[in-house]
Amino acid sequence: MAPPMQILAAWAAGQFELIASIEILAEYRRVSTRLGRLFPGTDAEPLLDFVTRESRIVDPVPVPASACSDPNDLMFLACAIAGRAQVVVTGDRALLRASGFRSVEVVTPREFVRRYVDV
C-alpha cells in the first residue's frame, strides 16, 4: 500500500488526529477539481467530505512570511501551530525545508509512515 493510503488508514483507525483549517480544506477542493479535469472518472469528493467532517478544524495563527520560501505553504504551518501539531506531512519541497519552524516537524509521507504509523 502506498504511503498516503497507509496514512489515511492509520488516521481512520485513530492512530493520530488530523488538523485542518477552512483555508486548507478549500485548497484541497481546488486541487481536487483541477485533478478531476486531468483524470476524468476520479472523484475525490467523498474523501474530502470525510476529511472535512472528521478533522479538527482550527483557526490559523499568523505566521511570518520568512517561515517558508513559498507563501502558499504558510497556511499549513499556521494550521499546525494553531492546532499544536507536532508534524506536517507533505511532499512539497519548500514546506519540507521549513521543518523545525516553531518546533513543527515537516516530513514526507514515506517518512511519516516509517516513524509514526503502526503497521
Domain borders along the chain are 3-116
CA dihedral 23, 112, 49, 42 (to 10 degrees): 110
How many other C-beta atoms lie within 10 A of the C-beta of residue 7? 21
The pLDDT assigned to 44 comes to: 87
Residue 98 amino acid letter = A
Mean pLDDT (the chain, rounded): 94
What is each CA distance from 64 to 8, 35, 59, 68, 101, in whole angstroms? 30, 30, 16, 8, 10
The CATH superfamily label for domain 3-116 reads 5'-nuclease (3.40.50.1010)
Read off the pLDDT of residues 86-106 as tens digits, 9 standing for 90 and up: 999 999 999 999 999 999 999
Q: What is the pTM of this model?
A: 0.91
The pLDDT assigned to 118 comes to: 83
Cell of 77: 504551518
Cell of 102: 516553531
Read off the pLDDT of residues 12-68 as tens digits, 9 standing for 90 and up: 899 999 999 999 999 999 999 998 889 888 888 898 999 999 999 999 999 999 999
pLDDT of residue 119 exceeding 80, the answer is no
